[in-house]
Amino acid sequence: MTQENTGSPAATPDQVMDVLRGVMDPELGADIVELGMAKGVTIDASGTAHVKLALTTLGCPLRAQIRDDIKAHVIGLPGIIDAKVDWTVLTQAEKAATMAKARRKVADSPPDTAVPDDTKVLMIASGKGGVGKSSVTTNLAAAMANLGFTIGVLDADIWGYSIPRMLGVDGKLQAVPGSTPEQTVDADEDTDDDDATETAPRPKIIPNEKVVGTGLLKVVSMGFLVESEETALMWRGLILNRAVQHFLEDVQWGHLDYLLIDMPPGTGDVQMGLAKMLPRAEMIVVTTPALAAQKVAVRAANMGRNNYLRVIGVVENMTAFVSPDGESHAIFGSGGGENLAAELNVPLLARIPIENAVAVGGDTGSPASLGDGPAAHALRRLADKVVLEASPPLDMSACTVRLEVGEKPVTLGRKPA
């Protein structure tokens, strides 16, 4: 097609760039112009548009798909009879900017989940294993429930699931039939009727529950789906990420004041997947007094912030052991929590001392935060600080939209005095 046989002005490079906004990077979920990957367009005398495209890596397995999509959008514009892609690669600075734009796009348009909109989501994260992250999660959840709140606990540490034992919750997860069709499948592949489909609702998972004081715990864990805690899950990252996605999409949580997520240690597929699915979540970073743990914990916090999550504070676990004579022994060093909080410019929410009651409570399903002793007092102060200062529960009863649609105000659990 040429300018002469259409009678239309030939397309300009700017017009070609404009239509390239319809070409999506399949992996990053945004168009190649918005991501800064389309670097320019030239049009030669033969009517061929040359698109300069920079990839995150020249070995990108999706380049053929992107090339074909570019051709489909460009060929057929006035005066354009062919399109060729001139490949290049993003610089490190350009790649960082592109990834930031992609993460911002995801944060602005998160996928639908079954987590209620009026639920505060707290991700309990750490840079490495062995710092007591799961212990902090279970004790914080129990202490918050004891204040009268309804607390969901999602055990996203798929490989190292331990939440059921530590909270003293057992039993297989049950499911009920889904009420909303989640999929449509062709009823007859040979039919000419495009509307001939049947719906297949996905079942909804019911969390296991435990009453704590005047509050309630609702718990979901891979530990409820395997035969025993010793069962090893030899799954790759994508399967793990899909399992966590099911926990967010297919669990019938009901009302929750807070959802606490026990994150896997580090910054892998599951962590990044959760950050994308729950961009309004907040993060608590757990470390020990040791300098090495502090430095690794920074990575977890940076992963969250790179995905636009808010880090609300640091918890230093295993701070010191206090002997019966009152002498403090800094077994794992000192200063890690304070240094991490200062580096992240967030408050140090708690310093949890080493106490045998914490380990015994985790082994017997009786969280130490419900008992007595230095660690119990520190954990309860942590719960108070979270709900009163760092991340108060949402009260959407006065929300304009809710008032307009006549929805009943949200009833939160009893707040601490």
Q: Are residues 276 and 289 in the same domain?
A: yes
- What is the rounded distance in angstroms from the CA atom of residue 170 to the CA atom of residue 192? 51
Q: Are residues 78 and 205 in the same domain?
A: no
Q: Are residues 18 and 126 in the same domain?
A: no
| Residue 416 maps to a domain | no
- What is the rounded distance in angstroms from the CA atom of residue 250 to the CA atom of residue 203? 7
Range of the domain at 249: 110-405
Residue 258 maps to which CATH number?
Answer: 3.40.50.300
pLDDT in tens, the chain (417 residues): 444 444 567 889 998 999 898 888 877 778 888 888 899 999 999 999 999 998 888 887 888 888 888 988 888 888 889 999 999 998 888 888 887 777 676 656 655 788 888 899 999 999 888 899 999 999 999 999 999 999 999 998 877 788 999 999 988 888 787 655 444 333 333 434 444 444 456 778 899 999 999 999 999 988 787 765 555 555 555 556 677 778 888 889 999 999 999 998 876 677 777 877 887 889 999 999 988 788 888 888 888 888 778 899 999 999 988 777 777 788 887 888 999 999 999 999 999 999 999 999 999 999 999 999 999 999 999 999 999 999 999 775 544 433 343 433 333 344 444
| Residue 233 maps to a domain | yes
Closest CA to 281 of 132, 115, 60: 115
| Residue 414 maps to a domain | no
Do 24 and 32 touch, CB atoms closer than 8 A? yes
Number of domains into which the chain is organized = 2
- What is the rounded distance in angstroms from the CA atom of residue 109 to the CA atom of residue 1? 39
Which residue is it, tokens 């490079």? 13
Do 241 and 219 touch, CB atoms closer than 8 A? no
Q: Are residues 336 and 392 in the same domain?
A: yes
At residue 104's C-alpha, the angle toward residues 51 and 99, to 5°, is 50
- Is 117 buried (19+), middle (13-18) or exposed (0-12) by CB count in 10 A? exposed
Domain boundary among 107, 131, 163: 107
Beta bridge mates, 91: none
Domain boundary among 107, 131, 159: 107
Q: Are residues 268 and 252 in the same domain?
A: yes
| Residue 150 maps to a domain | yes
| Residue 415 maps to a domain | no
Q: Are residues 118 and 100 in the same domain?
A: no
At residue 44's C-alpha, the angle toward residues 38 and 49, to 5°, is 35
Q: Are residues 209 and 125 in the same domain?
A: yes
216-246 per-residue burial string, b: 16 or more CB within 10 A, e: under 16: bbbbbbbbbeeeeeeeeeeeeeeebbebbbe
Q: Are residues 117 and 49 in the same domain?
A: no
Q: Break the chain down into helix, strand, coil percent, rounded to 5.
A: 35, 25, 40
| Residue 411 maps to a domain | no
Kindly report the pTM of this predicted structure. 0.68
| Residue 361 maps to a domain | yes
Q: Are residues 90 and 117 in the same domain?
A: no
Do 119 and 256 touch, CB atoms closer than 8 A? yes
Residue 24 maps to which CATH number?
Answer: 3.30.300.130
Q: Are residues 200 and 259 in the same domain?
A: yes
Q: Are residues 199 and 150 in the same domain?
A: yes
Domain boundary among 69, 88, 107: 107
| Residue 235 maps to a domain | yes
Do 77 and 43 touch, CB atoms closer than 8 A? no
Q: Are residues 127 and 93 in the same domain?
A: no
Which residue is it, tokens 């309004």? 280
